[in-house]
Amino acid sequence: TGKTSPGRALFGDTVVVDNIPYQTDHLTNVTPNILAKIGRNLHRTKHHPLYLIRKRIENYFYSHFLNRRGNPLFSVNDSISPVVTLEQNFDSLLVPEDHVSRAPSDSYYINSSYMLRAHTSAHQCELMRSGLDAFLVMGDVYRRDEIDATHYPVFHQVEGVRLFNQHELFQKVRDSTGLNIFEQGGKQTPDKQATHSMETAKLLEHSLKTTLMNLARHLFGQDVKARWVDQYFPFTHPSWELEVHHEGEWLEVLGCGIMKQEILYSAGTGDQVGWAFGLGLERLAMKLYSIPDIRLFWSNDSGFLNQFKDCDPNTNVTYKPVSIYPQCTNDLSFWLPSSADFAFSPNDFYDVVRNEGGDLVEQVFLVDEFVHPKTQRTSHCYRIIYRHMERTLTQEEVNVIHRHIEEQVVKLLGGEIR
Ligand code: FA5
Ligand code: MG
């Protein structure tokens, strides 16, 4: 359709990402605020807490997994561009056409062919195709998501993949004669894929869960409280999530599973089997260093950064909040555009808020939704909580930002302020 998208309204015909121009189209929904995060590379910034924890993870894999020659088994890739094709992020991983993660309300699209990766799994296929059997990928990932203390639209993941041939998988089995990694004419069950033998499923699950539980112990100590929860991912079966206990609650820190055989097959390595995981660096760092709010990772404030300045990856640091400044709360109500213009989602509003308010916005939520009985128009009321991480905000300052948000709601989203 010839209708303008919020992306077109922001950038016109071309948007420059990582120094490369791209034609905008109806799917374009990246924002200047998000694009400004590309190249920050917090996971490669010396002494940043995300760098320290990433090194701790790397050291675990370097010291515990060696190949026959005594060299590290896992190779590390930490500088792959976050700009990927939809094929890399979704199709290569068997994500169905109608899966929620493909919705424009959930991912950042540059246009109909390119996007900002929503997970580091986007690189699994290309790295397997290049011949690697064991690798880690570390990088920034981008998602349109809620706004609160543990969610941020840019965060960092570490992907791990390990492949095995028949010999490697059965190496530690006492009598492996007659065992086969594949099984013909089998069926998929909750415990295994159709082409895998039961032994393959059990050995891979054991290897994966021991590797990750030992990583959790390496990070948080021998008596870390952690549990496995069954999960679903389109690219693994069976799949699990690991949760660790943090401040009285279970915090999900990673997803993992046995890689779908179809994916290995299309990567040209169908005679192997393997497991994969993807973990969230911020969540782990928040627990390890007692960092209370995910926005702090983006702070340039010396009060934050200096607490990690002299640390090496093995130092145990406990972050001490500099001080807690007061919040300002403002509500904003508007009539949604009629759905003929474009399908409005709350994430469209959250992006406008982030764009104008940046990290001064601590939380946004929908407090009221209302349909006018006569006109059938829908109105949303959002509550925006503002707080500066390093000083007290005045109500006047907040009002200026709030007014800018109202203006953008009208201009970009076609809303009508009530
Ligand atoms: C994934 O991204 C899968 N690619 C993980 C995977 C890889 C599964 C390989 C199987 C095989 P998920 O969406 O659950 O899964 O994200 C993984 C982790 O990233 C989460 O456990 C969490 O620690 C972190 N995470 C997810 N969303 C956010 C967010 N908005 N802010 C901060 N961390 C997040
Ligand atoms: Mg998850």
Q: Which atom in ligand 1 lies closest to the alpha carbon of residue 256?
A: 10
Q: Which atom in ligand 1 lies closest to the alpha carbon of residue 146?
A: 30
Tell me the pLDDT tens digit for each residue of 95-122: 999 999 999 999 999 999 999 999 999 9
Q: How far is Cα of residue 73 from the mean position of the Cα atoms in its chain?
A: 25
Q: In the prediction, which pLDDT does 341 show? A: 66
Tell me the ligand closest to 278's alpha carbon: 1
Parallel, antiparallel, or unpaired: how do β-strands 134-142 and 75-77 relate? parallel
Q: Which domains does the chain have, with CATH numbers?
A: 37-82+117-296 (3.30.930.10), 323-417 (3.30.70.380)
Neighbour-count burial for 307-341, b at 16+ CB within 10 Å, e otherwise: bbeeeeeeeeeebeebeeeeebebebbbbbbeeee
Q: Positive or negative CA dihedral for 29, 30, 31, 32?
A: negative
Beta bridge partners of 330: 384
Q: Region 39-50: what's the mean pLDDT?
A: 95
Q: Is the pLDDT of residue 338 over 90?
A: no
Q: In the prediction, which pLDDT does 340 show? A: 66
Q: Is the pLDDT of residue 148 over 90?
A: no
Residues around ligand 2, an ion, CB closer than 5 A: 255
Counting Cβ atoms within 10 Å, is residue 89 exposed (0-12), middle (13-18) or buried (19+)?
Answer: buried
Q: In the prediction, which pLDDT does 1 show? A: 43
Distance 241 CA to ligand 1 centre (A): 9
Residue 339 — pLDDT band, cuts 50, 70, 90? confident
State which of 57, 119, 138, 209 you would mutate to test the pocket of ligand 1, scoring each by most atoms of that ligand within 8 A of its C-beta: 119
Q: Is the pLDDT of residue 300 over 90?
A: no
Q: Is the CB of 253 under 6 A from ligand 1?
A: yes
Q: What are phi and psi of 404, to 5 degrees?
A: -60, -40
- Angle, nearest 10°, between helix axes 49-64 and 281-289? 100
Beta bridge partners of 332: 382
Q: Which atom in ligand 1 lies closest to the alpha carbon of residue 279?
A: 18
Q: Is the CB of 153 under 6 A from ligand 1?
A: no
Q: In the prediction, which pLDDT does 268 show? A: 97
Q: Is the pLDDT of residue 4 over 80?
A: no
Report which residue type is found at 354. Answer: R
HEC string of the chain equals CCCCCHHHHHHCCEEEECCEEEECCCCCCCCHHHHCCCCCCHHHCCCCHHHHHHHHHHHHHHHHCECCCCCECCEEECCCCCEEEHHHHCHHHCCCCCCHHHCCCCCCECCCCEEECCCHHHHHHHHHHCCCCEEEEEEEEECCCCCECCECCEEEEEEEEEEECHHHHHCCCCCCCCCCCECCCCCCECCECCCECHHHHHHHHHHHHHHHHHHHHHHHCCCCCEEEEEEEECCEEEEEEEEEEECCEEEEEEEEEEECHHHHHHCCCCCCEEEEEEEEHHHHHHHHHCCCCHHHHHCCCHHHHHHHCCCCCCCCCCCCCCCCCCCEEEEEEEECCCCCCCCCCHHHHHHHHHHHHHHHEEEEEEEEEEECCCCCCEEEEEEEEECCCCCCCCHHHHHHHHHHHHHHHHHHHCCEEC
State which of 231, 252, 293, 363 you would mutate to test the pocket of ligand 1, scoring each by most atoms of that ligand within 8 A of its C-beta: 252
Nearest CA to ligand 1 atom 10: 256
Q: Is the pLDDT of residue 94 over 70?
A: yes
Other CB atoms within 10 A of residue 63 CB: 10
Distance 278 CA to ligand 1 centre (A): 6
Average pLDDT over the chain reads 93
Sequence-ordered list of residues with C-beta below 8 angstroms from that of 406, at least 6 positions apart, any chain: 332, 334, 417
CB distance 157 to 279 below 8 Å: yes
Rounded Cα gap, residues 60 and 131, in angstroms: 23
Q: Is the pLDDT of residue 2 over 60?
A: no
Instruction: Say what the ipTM of the complex is.
Output: 0.99
Q: In the prediction, which pLDDT does 74 show? A: 98
Cis peptide bond N-terminal to 96, omega within 30 = no
Q: Is the pLDDT of residue 175 over 90?
A: no
CB distance 394 to 417 below 8 Å: no
Rounded Cα gap, residues 298 and 40, in angstroms: 9
Tell me the pLDDT tens digit for each residue of 185-208: 889 999 999 999 999 999 999 999
Residue 322 — pLDDT band, cuts 50, 70, 90? low
Rounded Cα gap, residues 61 and 148, in angstroms: 32
Nearest CA to ligand 1 atom 24: 280
CB half-sphere exposure, 383, CA atoms < 13 A? 10
Q: Is the pLDDT of residue 153 over 80?
A: yes
